[in-house]
């Protein structure tokens, strides 16, 4: 099962692959050639199942392996399932997959665990070689985000003022509710009625409660939306377009 215990804090940043490992000890020619880990986005409830995999190589073949995850603050998780398979065309190479489950209502007591998580790996080869690799790969555990938009009045006369509002919120694992994400830049974008692409109109920072508000002049029919690029702890999100009919 997965669980959370007190652990050393690590820096929060967007996830990705990190090969070779930041720190590795071992004996012989055992190596890690690839680590695959995708970002994990969690809302206020509901467990998320995901996999982290790596490919290991040794001239004698891989005998066994293990992995655990370590995140910011107290973040820590062990696999609920783990299996390695030797490549059919190369007996020196194996790919190992670990399954993890994280539940914000069970594993997290606060938001400090959001950010970059690392996969720490141990590998044993058939000839006695081994490799212990800390931070062999990384990914982000993020607080799910939401974004709304409303453009008014509708319809509106050409040249008149349109007020575009919205709110940027994200999961708060301490309260199990969504809360405003303040002082964050969000782009106001517009798509013409006869177009399939959005263009940036301006950038606005979110205020109290994650509120977004700005004004523009009505020029032509089309859709307005807010677009948030995301941060290390919060994924990007786009609001659905709100259509304005310009008379």
For residues 194 and 126, state if they share a domain. no
Residue 236 CA to residue 17 CA, distance in Å, equals 19
For residues 37 and 111, state if they share a domain. yes
pLDDT per position as a tens digit, 104-135: 999 999 999 999 999 999 999 999 999 999 99
Residue 141 CA to residue 148 CA, distance in Å, equals 23
Give the residue-averaged pLDDT of 98-108.
97
For residues 128 and 177, state if they share a domain. no
Residue 135: predicted pLDDT: 96
Q: Using pLDDT thresholds of 50, 70 and 90, give the confidence band for residue 168.
A: very high
Q: Using pLDDT thresholds of 50, 70 and 90, give the confidence band for residue 18.
A: very low
Q: Using pLDDT thresholds of 50, 70 and 90, give the confidence band for residue 24.
A: confident
| Residue 42 belongs to a domain | yes
For residues 150 and 138, state if they share a domain. no
For residues 182 and 138, state if they share a domain. no
For residues 48 and 97, state if they share a domain. yes
E-assigned strands of 28-80? 31-37, 40-42, 48-57, 62-70, 76-77
For residues 48 and 101, state if they share a domain. yes
For residues 70 and 137, state if they share a domain. yes
In this structure, are residues 69 and 53 in contact, taking their beta carbons and an 8 Å threshold? Answer: no
pLDDT per position as a tens digit, 218-247: 999 999 999 999 999 999 999 999 999 999
Q: Are strands 90-102 and 115-125 parallel, antiparallel or unpaired?
A: unpaired
- 192, with CB counted inside 10 A (0-12, 13-18, 19+), is middle
- 5, with CB counted inside 10 A (0-12, 13-18, 19+), is exposed
Question: What residues form DSSP beta bridges with 214?
Answer: 164
In sequence order, what DSSP letters do the residues of 97-139 get, joined into one string?
EEEEEE-TTTT-SSGGG-EEEEEEEEEEETTS-EEEEEEEEEE
Q: Buried b / exposed e across 90-109, counting CB within 10 Å, b at 16+? A: eebbbbbbbebbbebeebbe
Residue 14: predicted pLDDT: 28
pLDDT of 211 strictly over 80: yes
Give the SS3 label for residue 208: helix
CATH of the domain at 229: 2.60.40.730
For residues 113 and 47, state if they share a domain. yes
CATH of the domain at 43: 2.60.40.1220
Domain span at residue 219 reads 145-244
Higher pLDDT, 217 or 2: 217
DSSP, res 10: -
Domain boundary residue among 114, 143, 172? 143
For residues 128 and 155, state if they share a domain. no
Number of domains in the chain: 2
For residues 76 and 185, state if they share a domain. no
| Residue 82 belongs to a domain | yes
- Average model confidence (pLDDT) for the chain? 91
pLDDT per position as a tens digit, 183-194: 999 999 999 999
Residue 65 CA to residue 76 CA, distance in Å, equals 18
For residues 137 and 173, state if they share a domain. no
Question: What residues form DSSP beta bridges with 169?
Answer: 146, 180
In this structure, are residues 111 and 86 in contact, taking their beta carbons and an 8 Å threshold? Answer: no
């Amino acid at each position: 099962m997965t669980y959370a215990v007190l652990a050393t804090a690590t820096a929060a940043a967007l996830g990705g692959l990190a090969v070779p490992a930041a720190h590795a000890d071992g004996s012989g020619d055992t190596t890690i050639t690839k680590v695959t880990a995708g970002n994990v986005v969690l809302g206020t409830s509901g467990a998320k199942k995901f996999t982290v995999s790596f490919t290991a190589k040794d001239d004698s073949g891989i005998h066994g392996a293990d992995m655990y995850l370590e995140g910011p603050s107290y973040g820590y998780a062990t696999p609920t399932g783990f299996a390695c398979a030797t490549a059919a065309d190369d007996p020196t190479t194996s790919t190992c997959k670990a399954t993890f489950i994280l539940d914000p209502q069970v594993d997290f007591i606060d938001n400090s665990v959001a950010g970059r998580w690392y996969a720490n790996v141990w590998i044993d080869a058939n000839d006695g070689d081994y490799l212990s690799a800390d931070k062999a790969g990384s990914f982000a555990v993020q607080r799910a985000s939401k974004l709304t938009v409303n453009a008014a009045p509708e319809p509106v006369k050409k040249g008149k003022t349109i007020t575009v509002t919205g709110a940027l919120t994200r999961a708060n694992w301490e309260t199990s509710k969504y809360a405003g994400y303040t002082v964050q830049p969000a782009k106001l974008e517009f798509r013409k009625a006869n177009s399939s692409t959005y263009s940036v109109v301006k950038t606005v920072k979110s205020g109290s409660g994650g509120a977004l508000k700005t004004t523009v002049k009505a020029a032509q029919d089309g859709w307005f939306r807010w677009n948030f690029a995301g941060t290390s702890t919060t994924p990007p999100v786009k609001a659905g377009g709100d259509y304005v009919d310009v008379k």
